[in-house]
């Protein structure tokens, strides 16, 4: 089955950390650019970070220095390490796989930052 599935969300206190995972299946993972996005209630979906097939990364200013994207092509998985979390990081986090005109989105995982 062609899909990407996010996991690792949850409730964390401000200043805490979480690591999100996105496992891909049914695709040649190493070909794909992988990205993380998030969407807070009432807001548009926001791009956070991208990692290219060869490992090059980019980050939105809102998460630069706090979030780290990585990938393991042997496990068909991309990760998002999130540190120094803030209440404004609360959102549903989505994974995206992109190659040429092919786009795959996951169902999302909820991250809530609250004391």
**H helix intervals, 18-93:** none
Tell me the pLDDT band of 115, cut-offs 50, 70 and 90: very high
Tell me the pLDDT band of 10, cut-offs 50, 70 and 90: very high
Q: What is the pLDDT of residues 97-112, one digit of tens each?
A: 999 999 999 999 999 9
Q: What is the pLDDT of residues 61-95, one digit of tens each?
A: 999 999 999 999 999 999 999 999 999 999 999 99
Distance CA 43, CA 56 (A): 28
Tell me the pLDDT band of 28, cut-offs 50, 70 and 90: very high
């Amino acid at each position: 089955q062609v899909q990407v599935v996010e996991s690792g969300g949850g409730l964390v206190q401000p200043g805490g950390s979480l690591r999100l995972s996105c496992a891909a299946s049914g695709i040649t993972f190493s070909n794909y650019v992988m990205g993380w996005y998030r969407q807070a209630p009432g807001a548009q979906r926001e791009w956070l970070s991208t990692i290219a097939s060869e490992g090059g990364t980019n980050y939105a200013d809102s998460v630069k220095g706090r979030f780290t994207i990585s990938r393991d092509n042997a496990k068909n998985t991309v990760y998002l390490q999130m540190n120094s979390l803030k209440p404004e990081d609360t959102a549903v986090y989505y994974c995206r796989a992109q190659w040429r005109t092919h786009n795959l989105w996951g169902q999302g995982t909820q991250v809530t930052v609250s004391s």
